[in-house]
Amino acid sequence: MKKVIKTDKAPRAIGPYSQAVLVEGGKMLFISGVIPLHPETMEIVGKTAGEQCKQVMDNMAQILDKVGADFSHVVKTTIYLTDLNDFSPVNDMYATYFDTNPPARATVEVNRLPKDVKIEIDAIAIL
């Protein structure tokens, strides 16, 4: 059983996937990889990985809000970076969204991301 979650306050999917899927009787939310696109223009926001991380997190906040959740509900994230040298500024920005009880996390370097952005983050939340 699943329910597709969609909000116009976050960038629309640019492929055959959902922004998020709610499962397990509405208790688990799986958020697809979020990239730093402006929800209305679908243009990349930010030149640096840190700036792009802020847009990613703001977009993710809108998806969480759609189901009445916030970052305190997030239990796992994966950060995909095109350059691990960007880890520190991304980590600093990311930390401002998880000031207490941060989720489990993995960070990996990848060769390329959609639209040639520097960062993508996916998440799992428990509601």
List, in order of start, the domains of the chain with CATH numbers. 2-126 (3.30.1330.40)
pLDDT digits (tens, 9 = 90+) for 64-100: 999 999 999 999 999 999 999 999 999 999 999 998 9
Characterize the bridge pairing of strands 28-34 and 119-126: antiparallel
Question: Given a cut of 90, is residue 17 above it in pLDDT?
Answer: yes
CB 65 within 8 A of CB 72: no
Q: What is the pLDDT of residue 76?
A: 98
CB 34 within 8 A of CB 114: no
Taking the C-alpha atoms of residue 109 and residue 89, their distance in angstroms, rounded to an integer, is: 15
pTM: 0.96
Rounded to a whole number of angstroms, the distance between the first and last alpha carbons of the chain is: 16
Characterize the bridge pairing of strands 104-109 and 74-81: parallel
Beta bridge partners of 104: 76
